[in-house]
A and B are shown apart, each in its own frame.
Chain A
Amino acid sequence: MLQTAKYLLIFLCLCTGNKAFSQCCTSGNPFISDAEQPALQSRILTASLNYRYSHSGKYYSEDSRFTELPFQEVANSNYTELQIGYGITNWLTALTDLGYFFNKTLETPGIDSYKGYGFGDLGLYAKFNAYSNSRLRLTISPTVGVKFPVGVFDQEVENVQLPISVQPSAGSYRYLANLFISKGFGKVALAGFASYEYSQLIESENFYYKYGDQWIAALYFNYRPWKRFTIDLQVRNEYRTKSTRENDDIIESSGYDVVFFTPQVTYAFKHDWYLSAYGDIPLYKYYNGIQLSFGYAVSVRVTKKIDFIALMARKRSADPGGSESK
């Protein structure tokens, strides 16, 4: 029973792929840009705990830095996310994630500061093992999912509502679909990832706002120089269309196109524990109108993988007559 509870707890605390925003301060969970993984095999569970720090401090207009504003604004967030994945069958993996912001801060140094905190959104996803060929080391894994705005929205400080950009939850449902394709060559693997996300209209007591659609395309290069050490290099393009507000008015200073470089290192410890570190570095930024642009993000992740079939087999081999003697 205790053992089951332990695995359930781990299950509840760890696994999946990728969800983040390149804009400095957008409501809802950021995109966790670690290297995407294919669907899991049956009865394998992965659970991971991510921590992410992001910082923004430069305004952009189109693809150039915009320095004409008579003040400075800085945004940062400390964010953690629990991701869990479980291979229900060899072709279906269930994934979930839940985010929590320790802080989501927007400040003009020395003048004012807005700080939101609390739970973000809850994501539920189904990932399919559409094609897997171990001889060719080729996998194709499409995913569909929903993010539920279960966290804190309409947050107030001293009876004054925080701006939408520092609210922890997105405030509306988001629907996404993505495709991951991976091909191995010796010690190297190449992968591609494409994702689309549709945000529903935020229609709360105080806000009426719709984020634009988001498209993400990423290429991964994975290299394992040593048995326990892996290097991932990722180039990712995040594109978001313009937002809309009341009367379907288009918000001209919204939407962006950003290309990131995301290096990642992963060390595999004994007993299927993994430690990863990665960072998001923008290589190219294009922002419509005038917007505070994404600066950088650094992340660490701890992952535990449990293979229940191997676990049962080990248990049986350690106690071959166990069940009969009872």
Chain B
Amino acid sequence: MIVLTGLALLSACSKKDNSGPSSQIRIDSITASVNPVVAYDTSVITVYATGDNLQYGWVANHGKIKGSGITVKYSACQSCRGLNTITCRVFNETGEVSDTIMVRVTPWHSK
């Protein structure tokens, strides 16, 4: 039991390192090509940021994000209806900053 628990906890602890905030990175804006977006459709999300050697991380609290980098595609199914938060994390060796955009997902209807 101890071994099992240890293995599981070890796996749960293997998360990425957190970087501190950086004054050398600035997020100017995050835009969505379609907002609100109908369930099962796609909205293109783009982040505009300044800084050197930037990398980008994305999270949606409901729905799916496809792709990586400056531009990603966001889509959500019928169960993700509502006002959803997409968070973009911009980071480099100096640290990171993050910002969000809210995208509303509306119900899908037969066409």
| Chain A interfacial positions (CB closer than 8 Å to B) | 12, 68-71, 82, 84, 96, 98, 112, 114, 118-119, 122, 148-154, 156, 158-161, 163-164, 169, 206-209, 243, 245-246, 249, 251-254, 289-292
A-B CB pair tally, cutoff 8 Å: 95
- From known contacts A12-B4, A206-B59, infer whether A152 and B12 are also in contact, taking CB-CB under 8 Å: yes
Partner of A290, one of B58, B66, B78: B78
Question: A12 CA to B77 CA in the complex, in Å?
Answer: 40
Contact present for A160 and B11 (CB under 8 Å) = no
How does the 8 Å CB contact mask read for B41-61 relative to A, with 1 for contact and 0 for none? 000000000000001111111
Query: Which residues of chain A are near B64, meaning CB under 8 Å?
Result: 112, 114, 163
Question: A82 CA to B5 CA in the complex, in Å?
Answer: 12
Main secondary structure, interface of B, reads mixed
Q: What is the total number of residues of chain B having a CB less than 8 Å from a CB of chain A?
A: 36
Contact present for B8 and A159 (CB under 8 Å) = no
Which residues of chain B in 56-111 are interfacial with respect to chain A, using CB atoms and an 8 Å cutoff?
56-68, 72, 77-79, 81-82, 87, 89, 108, 110
Partner of B57, one of A160, A163, A243: A160
- From known contacts A12-B1, A69-B40, A160-B58, infer whether A150 and B9 are also in contact, taking CB-CB under 8 Å: yes
Question: A209 CA to B84 CA in the complex, in Å?
Answer: 12
Question: A98 CA to B11 CA in the complex, in Å?
Answer: 12
Query: Which residues of chain B are near A150, meaning CB under 8 Å?
Result: 5, 8-9, 11-12
Contact present for B82 and A206 (CB under 8 Å) = no
- What are 16 inter-chain pairs, A to B, with CB distance below 8 A? A70-B40, A96-B1, A96-B4, A112-B64, A150-B8, A151-B8, A153-B12, A154-B15, A156-B16, A160-B57, A160-B59, A161-B59, A246-B82, A252-B79, A289-B78, A292-B77
